[in-house]
């Protein structure tokens, strides 16, 4: 049975259909023959699952040929319902169709990988949860806060010499002329060092002018 996922994350499922294509030597197949066999598995599984071909990924491995088809379960469909398309005789029929077309192709091409009449082993099924897709809301600490997103826009680098460092609750920009950082706690902001310097210079200039006029008055 599938394992339930946290309720604060979008849940997507894959159904994995695996079976062995026997009496075919995997290491004797050339790339073209592997491609054709992969295509046959994908097409038969997609037809039975009633999903687009792009939603089925197939991997072939040695022993004789271990075919593993991963189906992206459409939203709104329970993985258990998808598994029913391949349970029992339904799955055996799909694997049998694959064996028939694979054997026909190998016979036609006189492939040396064919070692006998092609048969298939028992179909294995399992459902697995797949990660959130690009653009979906992540859960917990994986998602950036609104605070960080706002700072990311405000502190966008204006030149190649600028950098943005993201570390936990802090986003800091390092620039040639400034060093500005903002922290989540209290929302306080450290002013650029050149700003304090200019204020100090203005204050010293004022003191100098006052002292100069004082000496002239004497």
In sequence order, what DSSP letters do the residues of 11-69 get, joined into one string? -EEEEEEEEEEEEE-GGG--HHHHHHHHHHHHHHHHHHHT--GGGEEEEEEETTEEEEE
Nearest to 165 by CA among 157, 188, 97, 73: 157
CA dist., res. 203 & res. 180, Å (int): 24
Residue 209, pLDDT above cutoff 70: no
Residue 9, pLDDT above cutoff 60: no
pLDDT at 190: 45
Of 182 and 8, the structure prediction assigns the larger pLDDT to: 8
Q: How confident is the model at residue 161 (pLDDT cuts 50, 70, 90)?
A: very low
pLDDT at 217: 55
Residue 59, pLDDT above cutoff 90: yes
Q: For a pLDDT cut of 70, what percent of the chain falls above it?
A: 56
Residue 97, pLDDT above cutoff 60: yes
**Tens digits of per-residue pLDDT, 79-89?**
999 999 999 99
Nearest to 59 by CA among 37, 74, 82: 37
Query: Position of tokens 């082993």?
Result: 121
Q: How confident is the model at residue 198 (pLDDT cuts 50, 70, 90)?
A: low
**Which range (55-69, 141-155, 160-174) has the least confidence?**
160-174
Domain ranges across the chain: 12-130, 142-217
Q: For a pLDDT cut of 90, what percent of the chain falls above it?
A: 53
- Tokens standing for 201? 């210079």
Burial of 88 (0-12, 13-18, 19+ CB in 10 A): exposed
Query: Angle, nearest 10°, between helix axes 31-49 and 89-108?
Result: 150
State the average pLDDT over residues 37-42. 97
**Tens digits of per-residue pLDDT, 11-31?**
899 999 999 999 999 999 999
Residue 124, pLDDT above cutoff 80: yes
pTM listed for this prediction: 0.58
Residue 69, pLDDT above cutoff 80: yes
**Which range (35-39, 51-55, 177-181) has the least confidence?**
177-181
**Class for domain 12-130, per CATH?**
alpha beta
């Amino acid at each position: 049975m599938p394992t339930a996922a946290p309720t604060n994350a979008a849940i997507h499922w894959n159904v994995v259909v695996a079976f062995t294509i026997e009496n075919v030597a995997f290491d004797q197949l050339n790339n073209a023959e592997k491609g054709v066999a992969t295509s046959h598995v994908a097409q038969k599984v997609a037809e039975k699952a009633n999903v687009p071909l792009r939603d089925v990924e197939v991997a072939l491995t040695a022993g004789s040929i271990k075919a593993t088809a991963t189906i992206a379960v459409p939203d709104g469909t329970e993985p258990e319902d998808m598994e029913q398309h391949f349970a029992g005789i339904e799955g055996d029929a799909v694997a049998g169709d694959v064996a028939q077309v694979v054997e026909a192709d190998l016979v036609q091409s006189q492939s040396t990988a064919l070692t006998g009449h092609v048969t298939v082993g028992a179909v294995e099924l399992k459902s697995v949860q797949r990660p959130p897709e690009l653009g979906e809301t992540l859960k917990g600490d994986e998602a950036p806060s609104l605070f960080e997103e706002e700072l990311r826009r405000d502190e966008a680098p204006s030149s190649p010499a600028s950098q943005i460092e993201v570390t936990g609750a802090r986003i800091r920009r390092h620039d040639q002329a400034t060093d500005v950082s903002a922290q989540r706690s209290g929302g306080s902001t450290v002013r650029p060092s050149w700003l304090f310097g200019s204020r100090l210079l203005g204050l010293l200039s004022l003191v100098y002018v006052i002292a100069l006029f004082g000496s002239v008055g004497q």
